[in-house]
Structure 1
Amino acid sequence: MNMVKAVNTVTTSVRLPVDLVKRYDNLAKATGRSRTYYVTEALEESIAQLEYQYGLLKKVEDYRAGRLETVSIDQLEDHLGLGD
């Protein structure tokens, strides 16, 4: 059973390389779905990874700038009850 989820959408414009658009068009034609469907699927699948990666980079930046609170390994072990 194919479930269709109702989603509010917004139109946006993106410039893509011609070869990538051709690949999406070929996939869409072969499967009977739209190019928009597959581009949206790809974006949905990649956003969590991008958010995670850039979140880590932001933390590194904050650490280097002294904006991130840190603890020593000894403090962490004590906090977790792993100290001697």
Structure 2
Amino acid sequence: MSTRQTAIRLPTETYDRLKQLAERTGRTTAYYIREAIEEHLEDMEDVYLAEQTLERVRRGEEDVIDAEEFWRDMED
């Protein structure tokens, strides 16, 4: 697996908590940052992409079918 490096800014309180956790567990702060991102990235993608789709629906740019039609099509 290839990796890329990035930089982030954290509020002091968040960074202090992260640093304390890393020190207490013998892991790096980078480890916990990576874990948090990997754990929540899929959920964030789902939320933000769903919000974009909802906006397209509201603007009439997406086709929408009702539940009855959906389930009827699933039976075919």
- TM-score, normalization by structure 1: 0.78
Matching of residue 63 in structure 1 with residue 62 in structure 2: no
Which structure has the larger Rg?
Answer: 1
- Aligned match for 1:40, one of 34, 43, 46: 34
Partner of residue 23, structure 1: 17
Percent identity, aligned pairs only, is 29
Q: Pick the structure with more helix per residue.
A: 2
Q: 1:26-76 deviations in whole A, cap 9, x for unaligned? A: 111111110000011001111011001011101101101111111234422
Equivalent residue letter for 1:23: R
User: Where does structure 1 lack aligned partners over 5 or more consecutive residues?
Assistant: 1-6
Distance 1:74 1:34 in 2: 52
User: Where does structure 2 lack aligned partners over 5 or more consecutive residues?
Assistant: none
For the aligned residue pairs, the C-alpha RMSD in angstroms reads 1.4
Return structure 1 stretches of 4+ with deviation > 4 angstroms.
none
